[in-house]
Structure 1
Amino acid sequence: MRLRRFFFISYTASLCLGAWADEAKLLSPVEVRASSENLQGEAAAGSEGVVSSQRLQAVPILRPGEVLEMVPGLIVTQHAGDGKANQYFLRGFNLDHGTDFATSVGGMPVNMPSHAHGQGYTDLNFLIPELVDRMRFRKGPYYAEEGDFSSAGTAHIDYVRKLDGTLGQITVGQHGYARSLLAGSPTIGNGNLLYALEWFHNDGPWEVHENYRKLNGVLSYSQGSRNDGFSVTGMAYRGTWTSTDQVAQRAIDSGLVNRFGSLDPTTGGETYRYSLSGEWATRGQDSQSKANVWWLRSGLDLWSNFQYCLNDIAATGSCATGDQFKQSERRQAAGFAASHAIFSRWGGLDVENSFGIQGRHDRLNPVALCATQSRNVLSTVREDDISQTSLALWAQNEIRWLPWLRSIGGLRGDTANFKVNSNLAANSGKASDQMLTPKFSLIFGPWRNSELYLSYGHGFHSNDARGTTIQVAPADGVTPADRVKPLVRTKGHEVGIRSEPLAGWQTTLSLWQLDAASELLFVGDAGTTEPSRPSRRRGLEWTNLYTPTAWLAIDADFSWSQARFRDFDATGDHIPGAVTTTANLGMTVDDIGPWYGALRLRYFGPRPLIESNSVRSSASTLANLRLGYKFDRQTRLAVDVYNLFDRKVSDIEYWYDSQLPGETAPASDRHVHPTEPRSLRLTLSYLF
C-alpha cells in the first residue's frame, strides 16, 4: 500500500514539474544504429571502443552495474545482496569487486583503494542508467593516462549534460520491486541544470526479504560540451539491505535451506556516497586542455558470514556465536587530473603531444574488521586509520609517419605513499613505492576500412595499505604475516584489427597476453595476507556490431582466455575463478510502427575453482527480453523479462571450507549464489 501511495505521489509531482518546464519536447527514438564514434585513426588498440547512450538505453538491465556488460567480454554477477558491489570477470580475471578494472563516472574514479571489503571495490549502485551519455572502454596497459587498477581494462562513463525534456518514469515488478525516477535539464542562463531523483525498493526472490532501499540523486550545472565547456556536479546515494550470501551446496542438497534460503538472516549492509566534482575543458586552434577535480565522502557497514561456524567451533568447541563478521569504513577522498594536448607538425608530419598530472588522497578513519553476531559487535579483529596519497605524471607522443602508419608512445610515472595507524602497534607504519610504466603502439592503415594495431605496455595495481605495513596476524597478534608490495607491475601486449568489411558492420579482433608479477594479496575478510603467484593470461576477443537497416541492430562478442600461474606448485597451475569463454549476443529493433524491443543472450563459461582444475564451476546461459510500445511521442510502456527461460543456474560459485551447525568437522564444498528466477518488470515513461 505504501508503494502504491509513493508512486501516485511521485507521478503527480512529475506531472506538476513538467507543467512548469518549457513546452514538451519530442521523445527521441531508441536509435539502434550505433552512432558511436568511428575510432579508426584514433584508437591505440583493437580492443578499445565506445558504447553510445542509444545502445545502453535499449537493453534490459537487471542491476545498474550491468551497464558494464556492454564492454565486450566483461561479465557482471552478484554473490550477495544487491546493495553490495558486483562481482566482475574479464580477460581471465576474477576481478572480485573491481581490482584490475578501473571505472570512472563523470571523471570521478569509482574504485576504492584499501577498501574494507576488497581492493579496488567498485560499487555502481549510485549509477542512473538513463543519464548515461556514453561509455568509452579500453583494455590492456597501453594508455599513458590510465593508472591504478587499469591493467585488465577501463570504462569511463559520462552523464548527459542535457535531456530532451523532463522524464517521469515508474517501474514495478515481482518480488516487491518498485522504482521511480524524475529527471530533467531546464535551461538556466547560458547552461543547463541537470537533475535526477531516484527512489528504489526490492525484496528479491530470497526467503529472507532483501528489503533493499535506495535513495539516489544528481544535480549538475553545465555549459558547453565535454571538449569546450564546464560542469559542476553533486551526487548523493544511500542504501540499506539484508543479504542472502552464497550457500554451501550440501546445505541445499540436505534440505536445510532451498536455493534462495539463507544460513544467516542478519547479513547485509548499509552504505552511503556523497560527492562533488567539477570538469573543465577548452579547445584552442592547435590544442586541447582538460581538468577535473573531485571530493568524495563515503561509508560502508557490511555484515557477512561465509563459513557459518568453522572459526567459532575451532576456537570454542561450539557454534554459540557463529562466524559472522563486519567490515566497516568511513572515507573521505579528493583528487584531480589535468592534461594538455598540442597538435603540430614536425618536418611535415602530423604530431600530437600530450601530457598530464593526476593526484588522489584517501583518508579512512577508521577502517575496521569485527567479529559479530546478528550485527552486534563481539570483538574487534583490527581497526586502522589510513592516509594514502598517489601522484602521477604522464606524457604521450603520437606521430603520423605515413598516410597508413602512425605510432603512439607514452611514459607514466606513479608514486604512492601509505601511512597506517593500527590498533596493533606492530601493524602500524609507513610504506611508499614508485613505478615507471612505458607504453607503445604501432597502427597500420586504414586499408579498405581496416586498421591493424600492435600494442605493448606495462601497468600496475596498488595493494591495500594495511598489507604494506602488516607484521603480525591480527587474529592473535603473534603469528608473523608477510607484507605486500605497494605497487605490483603488469606487462601486456596485443595484436588487433578493426574493420568495416560491409556497410553497417563494425568488427574488431584482438589477440592479447598479460603477465602479472609475483605478489601477495591482502584479504579483507581476515585482515591479513595470503600468498599469490606470478601469472600469465592470454586470449582472443571478437566483437561485432551490424546495423543492416535503420530499425535493426545486431551485436555479438566472443572471448576466450587461458589463465595460468607461471611457477611450479604441486597444487596446480590453474587460477581459481578465471573464466575461459564468454559470449554476448543481442538484437535491438525500433521504429516498427509503435513497437520496439531487445533480446540479449549471455554465456558465462566454466571456471576452475581450485588450482588443480579438479573442481570446476558450471556454465550458465541467460536471456533477457524487452518489449515496448509507444503510445505517442511522449509516452512509452515497456515490459522487461529477466532470465527469460527461467534457467536454474548460479550467478557465482566458490570452493572452500565451511562448517554448518551440527557438523563435527569442516568440509570443503561448492558454495553457490543462484541467479534470480524469471521475473517481469513494467515501466511507464512520460516525457514532458
Structure 2
Amino acid sequence: MKRILPFALATFSLSAHADDPFLQRVLIDASRTSQLGIADSAADGTVTQRQLAARTSYRPGELLEATPGLIVSQHSGEGKANQFYLRGFNLDHGTDLRTTVDDMPVNQRSHGHGQGWTDLNFLIPELAARLDYSKGPYSAANGDFSSAGATAITYANRLPRGAFDVTIGQDGYRRALLADSPAAAGGNLLYALEVLHNDGPFTRGDDYRKLNGVLRYSQGYANNGWHVTAMAYGANWNATDQIPQRAVDAGALGRFDAIDPTDGGSAHRYSISGAWRRTTEDSASKVSAYVIANRLDLFSNFTYFLDDPVHGDQFAQPDRRVTTGFDARHGWHLHAGDVLTSTTVGMQVQNDNIHNGLYRTAARRTLGTIRQDHIVESSAAVFVENHTRWRPTLRTVAGLRADRYRFDVTSDRPDNSGKASDTLVSPSVGLVLGPWAQTEFYFNAGSGFHSNDARGTVIAVDPKTNEPTPRVTPLARSRGLDLGVRSEWVPGLQTTLSLYRLDFDSELVFVGDAGTTEAGRPSRRYGIEFSNYYKPVKWLSLDADLAYARGRYRDSDAAGDHIPGAVEGVAQLAATVTPQGAWSGALRLRWFGPRPLVEDNSVRSRASATLNGRIGYRVNRSTRLELEAFNLANRRAAAIEYYYSSRLANEAQAQDDIHFHPIEARSLRLTLSHSF
C-alpha cells in the first residue's frame, strides 16, 4: 500500500503538505516544483514561497501574476478590488477567476459593484507558503467563478524565523510588518501585524491607510493536523478614477488628475476559519469552515456630469455581508496490480447574507436612492473525482459536480423582489499520456459556470428608467477544451504549452454601476499559452511566459463580433539572481497586449510594457536591505482603458471617448528587514 501513497496524496491535495517539515524545506529551497506525474493539465501549476518572495509587486493582488498569463491591474484607488485578465477575458473584479486564501472564498457573490468581487488587499504576501493555480473548467472541486482559472493561496502554519520589516518609498509609501510563530501549548501561534500608507503619484493622493492582522494557532502538520485562524483588515482611501483622453489631450487635465476629488471609499474584512486534515496510507480527509464579515463603502463617478449636470454623477455602492460555509471531502486510495486509483467525494456549502444598494451622491452625500436590497444567496454542491494511473504512462481523471443555488431578494421596490433557484451538473474528464523522456501530454474537457447577481434573477423593472427589464439565467454555463504538453527533458528547464477553447452560453452580468441587468451574447475564445522556467545554474533562474487569445461573440449582430476588453496577448520575462554572497536581484518585464474597446474593433487600447526590479543586500544573518523599483522606464501607459460616453462640466453634450487610468510613475521603495 505504501507505494501508492505519494500518487494518492498528490491527487487529493498537494497543498496539504505545505507545512510538513521535509516538504516545507523542499518548497522553500526550490523555486518551482515539478508537476510531472502530478498535474492533471498543462495549465496547472504550483508556485513556491521562494518564487513568490522574489516577485516585485506594487500591491498585494499582483502576487497572483505568478500564474502564467494572468494580468492584475487597477483602475481606481488602492483600496478597491483589482482588475484581472486571463485567457482572453477581462475578468472585471474577479468574475470567472476563483480565488481562495486558506480555503476561504475571496470572490463575493451578488456584490454591490461587480459580480465575483475579489478584494485581496487583506493578503500579507510574507505569509504565503505557496500558490496553486489551474485554468479551465476541469476540476470538480472548484465550481463557481473558475471557468477561466482558479488560484489558491495557502498561508504557512509556521515561519522559519520571526520578521520585522520597515519600508519607506516615494509617493508617501510607508509600511511596517511584524510577524512570528513561536511554539505554544504543543503547537504554534502565528501572528502578523501590518500597517501601510500610500498616496500614489496622483495629484490628490490616495491617502490609502491600511491596518491588517492575522492570528493563527496550529497543531500537527498540514496533512495531519488542524489550525484556527482569525483575520482583521480595515482601510480607507481616496480614488482617482479613470479620466477622459480628450481632457488630457486638450491640456485640461494632467495624467494623474481627478475629476471628482471626493471619490474613494472604505473597506473592512473580519474572518474566523479553521481546517482539519487526517491522512493515512489509504485515505485522506479534510474539513474546513469559515465565517467572513465584509463591509464596503464605495463612491465612484465614471460619467462626471452626464446624468446630472448640476450635482454630478457620483454614486455610492455600499455592501455589507456575512458569508458562512464549509468544505468537507474524503478520499480513498486503492491499488490492483499496477493500477493505482484515488477517489475523492466532497460537499461544499455557502451562504451569503447581504445588504447592498445603489445611491445617487454628491461629495459622498446621499441625494437619492436608486435601489437597495437584502439578499440571501445559498448554495450547496456535491462532487466526486477519480484519478487513476492505469500504467506508468497512462493516467485519467474523471469528475462530476452538482450545484444547487437559491436566491431570495427583498428590494425596496416590491416588483424587484422575489425568489429564484437553479441547478447545474458539470462533468469533466482528463487524459494524461507519459512521461516519455520527461514529457507528458494532456487532454482535458469539461463544463463549468459562473453565478449571476441574485438581483438580476428576479428583476422586473429598471430602477432608473422604470422600464420592464428581462431577467437573467442564474447560472451561466461554460464549456472548455485543452490540449497541452509539459516537458523537463532539457536539464533545468520546465516548459508547458497549452492550446484551449472556452465557450460561454451567455456572458450575463448585473451592471452594478447602472443598477440593472444586461444580457451578454454567447462567446468563444481560442488561445495558446507557452510557459518556461529555466535554472541553468543554482544562482540564476529565468522565466518566460507568453499567451495569446482570440475572443469573439458567436452570434450575428450588426454591432460586431469583438468582445470589448478581451485581452489578446500578454507576456512576462524575468531573471532572478541569487548568488551565495550578500547581493541578489531580479528584473521582470510585463507586456500587456491591446484590446478591442468596442464590438466592431474600431477603437482599441494600446499595448503597454513595464519593467520592475529589485536588488537586495544581506548585511548579516539577521538583517537585509532591499531596494524595489517600479516602472523603471517611467512609461506613460494606461493600466486600463474603456470606451463610453461621458460629459465634462464645461461640455454641452455627451461625448464618446477612451477613458483610462494611468500606470504609476517610476517609484522606489527601500525595505529594512530584521529576522529573529
- TM, length-normalised to structure 2: 0.95
2:338/2:390 contact within 8 Å kept: no
Which residue number in structure 1 is paired with residue 79 of structure 2?
Answer: 83
Which residue number in structure 2 is paired with residue 115 of structure 1?
Answer: 111
CA shift for structure 1 position 522: 0.8
State the one-letter code of the partner of 1:98: G
Which residue number in structure 1 is paired with residue 675 of structure 2?
Answer: 687
Which residue number in structure 1 is paired with residue 637 of structure 2?
Answer: 649
1:334/1:362 contact within 8 Å kept: yes
Which residue number in structure 2 is paired with residue 265 of structure 1?
Answer: 261
User: How big is the alpha-carbon RMSD for the aligned residues of Structure 1 and Structure 2?
Assistant: 1.3
**Residues 648/33 of structure 1: CA separation in 2 closer, same or farther (3 Å cut):** farther
Distance 1:270 1:684 in 2: 29
CA shift for structure 1 position 591: 2.5
Deviations 1:120-167 (Å, cap 9, x if unpaired)?
A: 000000000011000000000011111000000000000111112220
Which residue number in structure 2 is paired with residue 479 of structure 1?
Answer: 467
- The answer to whether residue 328 in structure 2 is matched with residue 332 in structure 1 is no
State the one-letter code of the partner of 1:129: P
- The answer to whether residue 655 in structure 2 is matched with residue 667 in structure 1 is yes
5+ residue gaps, structure 2, are 1-23
Distance 1:469 1:256 in 2: 44
Which residue number in structure 2 is paired with residue 450 of structure 1?
Answer: 439
CA shift for structure 1 position 76: 0.4
| Alignment counterpart, residue 608 of structure 1, candidates 564, 578, 596 | 596
Which residue number in structure 2 is paired with residue 15 of structure 1?
Answer: none
Deviations 1:327-367 (Å, cap 9, x if unpaired)?
A: 00110110100111100024652111111000100001x20
Which residue number in structure 2 is paired with residue 415 of structure 1?
Answer: 404
Which residue number in structure 2 is paired with residue 574 of structure 1?
Answer: 562
Distance 2:123 2:528 in 1: 30
1:30/1:54 contact within 8 Å kept: no
Distance 1:531 1:487 in 2: 13
| Alignment counterpart, residue 303 of structure 1, candidates 299, 302, 305 | 299
CA shift for structure 1 position 521: 1.9
Which residue number in structure 1 is paired with residue 50 of structure 2?
Answer: 54
Q: SS at the partner of 1:310?
A: coil
Distance 1:450 1:224 in 2: 36
1:32/1:588 contact within 8 Å kept: no
| Alignment counterpart, residue 400 of structure 1, candidates 381, 389, 392 | 389
Q: SS at the partner of 2:341?
A: strand
Q: SS at the partner of 2:142?
A: coil
Distance 1:35 1:265 in 2: 44
CA shift for structure 1 position 38: 2.1
Q: SS at the partner of 1:56?
A: helix
| Alignment counterpart, residue 37 of structure 1, candidates 29, 33, 39 | 33
Q: SS at the partner of 2:281?
A: coil
Deviations 1:439-480 (Å, cap 9, x if unpaired)?
A: 00010011111110000000000000000000000114x300
State the one-letter code of the partner of 1:388: E
Which residue number in structure 1 is paired with residue 9 of structure 2?
Answer: none
Distance 2:435 2:201 in 1: 51
| Alignment counterpart, residue 217 of structure 1, candidates 209, 213, 217 | 213
Deviations 1:635-677 (Å, cap 9, x if unpaired)?
A: 0000001000100100001000001012111000000100111
- The answer to whether residue 511 in structure 2 is matched with residue 523 in structure 1 is yes
Distance 1:124 1:377 in 2: 28
2:115/2:509 contact within 8 Å kept: no
Which residue number in structure 2 is paired with residue 507 of structure 1?
Answer: 495
Distance 2:27 2:580 in 1: 12
State the one-letter code of the partner of 2:653: A
Distance 2:388 2:569 in 1: 37
1:137/1:156 contact within 8 Å kept: yes
| Alignment counterpart, residue 129 of structure 1, candidates 125, 132, 155 | 125
CA shift for structure 1 position 370: 0.2
Which residue number in structure 2 is paired with residue 625 of structure 1?
Answer: 613
Which residue number in structure 2 is paired with residue 438 of structure 1?
Answer: 427
Q: SS at the partner of 1:88?
A: strand
State the one-letter code of the partner of 2:75: H
2:84/2:93 contact within 8 Å kept: yes
2:27/2:49 contact within 8 Å kept: no
| Alignment counterpart, residue 355 of structure 1, candidates 325, 328, 345 | 345
CA shift for structure 1 position 42: 1.7
Identity level (%)? 52
Which residue number in structure 2 is paired with residue 191 of structure 1?
Answer: 187
Deviations 1:24-76 (Å, cap 9, x if unpaired)?
A: xxxx9999974443221121110000000100101211000000111000000
Distance 1:484 1:53 in 2: 42
Deviations 1:534-558 (Å, cap 9, x if unpaired)?
A: 0000100011111111111111100
Distance 2:414 2:123 in 1: 39
1:32/1:553 contact within 8 Å kept: no
**Residues 33/559 of structure 1: CA separation in 2 closer, same or farther (3 Å cut):** farther
- The answer to whether residue 533 in structure 2 is matched with residue 545 in structure 1 is yes
State the one-letter code of the partner of 2:245: Q
Q: SS at the partner of 1:591?
A: coil
Q: How many correspondences in the alignment?
A: 653
Which residue number in structure 1 is paired with residue 456 of structure 2?
Answer: 467
Which residue number in structure 1 is paired with residue 102 of structure 2?
Answer: 106
Deviations 1:236-287 (Å, cap 9, x if unpaired)?
A: 0000000000000111112221000000000001110000000110001200
1:33/1:552 contact within 8 Å kept: no
Deviations 1:591-620 (Å, cap 9, x if unpaired)?
A: 252100110000000000000001000000
